[in-house]
Amino acid sequence: MKFGIPRETRAGETRVAATPETVKKLAAKHEVCVEAGAGTASFNTDEAYAAAGARIVNHAEALAQDVVLKVWAPDADELGQMKAGAVLIGMLEPFNGDGLQKLAQANLTAFAMEAAPRISRAQSLDVLSSQANVAGYKAVLMGANAYGKLMPMLMTAAGTVKAARVVILGVGVAGLQAIATAKRLGAVVEASDVRPATKEQVESLGGKFIDVPFETDEERQIAEGVGGYARPMPEAWMKRQAAMVAERLKQADIAITTALIPGRPAPRLINAETVAQMKPGAVIVDMAAERGGNCELTEAGQTVVKHGVTIIGAVNIPASVPTDSSALYARNLLDFLKLVTDKDGAFHLNLEDEIVKACMVAHAGAVTRA
C-alpha cells in the first residue's frame, strides 16, 4: 500500500501523524510519501524522513495515497484531493456529524482514533490518553509560569517560602499527570472528580481527594460512569461539589481544570463568584476551554485576568510540546494499523474487532458510526 503523511493545515497545529521512527517501520512493507516540511514544526526534518525510507512529496501527492495518516480531519480542499476508497486515520471528531458526512461523501474508509474503547488492549493506540498525558504535564508548567510565586516550600537564609496549593478538577489521564507534575514541583495538591474510583488514584500520587458525598444511589450510579467516562451529574450533586470546591479554591494558588464529558459541553465547575473569592495572583488553567470551559470566565484561546486571577483558556496544549506529542500520536496510529492490516501489510477490514468497529466512522459512502 502507499501511505501519505501530509502537513497539518489547521491553524496552530504543530504535530505530525508519523515520525521518522514510525515511517521506518511502515517503509519496511509500504511506500511512504511524506509532504515536504510536514515535520518541521515538530523538529522532524525531511532528511530524517528520507533516511527512514520516505519519499518527500508535495501536499497534493501526500493526500492522494491509499492510506492517509493525519492529526485532524482533512479540510474541504484536502478532501477534494483524496482518492475515493482511500483509508483515512486521524482524530476525526466522531461527534461531529457534518464532518463525518463529508468523509462519507468523499467515499473514504475513515477511522476516528478518539472513538477507541477504553479497554486494556486499546491502551497503546489511545490518542486521547497519549495527548492528555502531555497536556496535563504542560498545563502545570503553564500555571507555574503565570504564577508570581514559587511552587515548592523553600527554607532559605532570607526566610521560608510556602509551598503552592494546587487544586486539580477532573482526574482522568490529564488530571492524574497534572497531579504527578505538581507534586514533582513541590506543590500541595488536592483534586476532585465525579468518579469514586479516582479517590485511590489521587491518594496514590500523594494528593488529597476532595470527597463530595453522594446522597442517593442514583447519584452514585451516575458518578460511576460508563466505559471509564463520566456522565453529567445531577444538579444537586454539582451544587454540593461547587460549594466544596469553592472553599478549596479560596486557599488555592493554582487550579488546573480538566473535567470533560464525551460529546457534551464541559461541566461548569467554577463560577464567577468563586473566582472573585480567590487570592489575587492565583492562576486557573482551564484545559476544557475548547469545550466551553470548566470556569465561567474562561475565554478559549485567551489569557484573561478577572478579579486579580489569571485565567488561561488553553487550547490544543499538546501542540505546544510537538516533538513528544507527535512521537506518541504516531506510535498510537502505528499500533492501530496492526488491527487493519494482514501479515503481508495489505488493508484488511475486520469488523469483528471491537476496536476497529468502534473507530470506523465512514465506509463505502456512508457514515458508519452508531
Where along the sequence are the contacts to ligand NAD (CB under 6 A)?
Answer: 118-120, 122-123, 126, 128-129, 132, 169-175, 192-195, 228-230, 233, 258-262, 267, 269
CA distances from residue 163 to 75, 175, 183, 184, 339 in whole angstroms, order as listed:
47, 20, 10, 12, 47
Between 49 and 336, CB nearer to ligand NAD: 336
Specify the residue, 193 or 253, whose C-beta has the smaller distance to ligand NAD.
193
C-alpha cell at 223: 458518578
Report the nearest approach of ligand NAD to the CB of residue 287 (Å). 9
Whole-number minimum distance, CB 351 to ligand NAD, in Å? Answer: 20
Look at residue 239 and give its three-state secondary structure. helix
Q: Shortest Cβ contact with ligand NAD: which residue? A: 172
Q: What is the CA 223 to chain-centroid distance, rounded? A: 22
Which helix (H) or strand (E) covers residue 337, if one does? helix 322-337
Q: How many whole angstroms separate alpha carbon 100 and alpha carbon 301?
A: 25
* CB of residue 183 to ligand NAD, shortest distance in Å: 18
Instruction: Specify the long-range contacts of residues 153-160, CB closer than 8 Å, at least 24 apart.
Output: 153/186
User: Active-site positions?
Assistant: 118, 123, 126, 129, 229
Nearer to ligand NAD, 80 or 228 (CB): 228
CB contact burial 6-26 (16+ within 10 A = b; e otherwise): bbbeeeebbbbbbbbebbbbb
Closest approach, Cβ 359 to ligand NAD, in A, equals: 13
Burial 283-314 (b: 16+ CB within 10 A, else e): bbbbbbbbbbbbbbbbeeeeeeebeebbbbbb
Report the residue number, 260 or 337, with the smaller CB distance to ligand NAD: 260
CB of 322: closest distance to ligand NAD in angstroms?
21
Phi, psi of 321 (to 5 degrees): -130, 60
Q: Which is closer to ligand NAD, CB of 116 or CB of 283?
A: 116
**360 close to 369: Cβ distance less than 8 angstroms:** yes
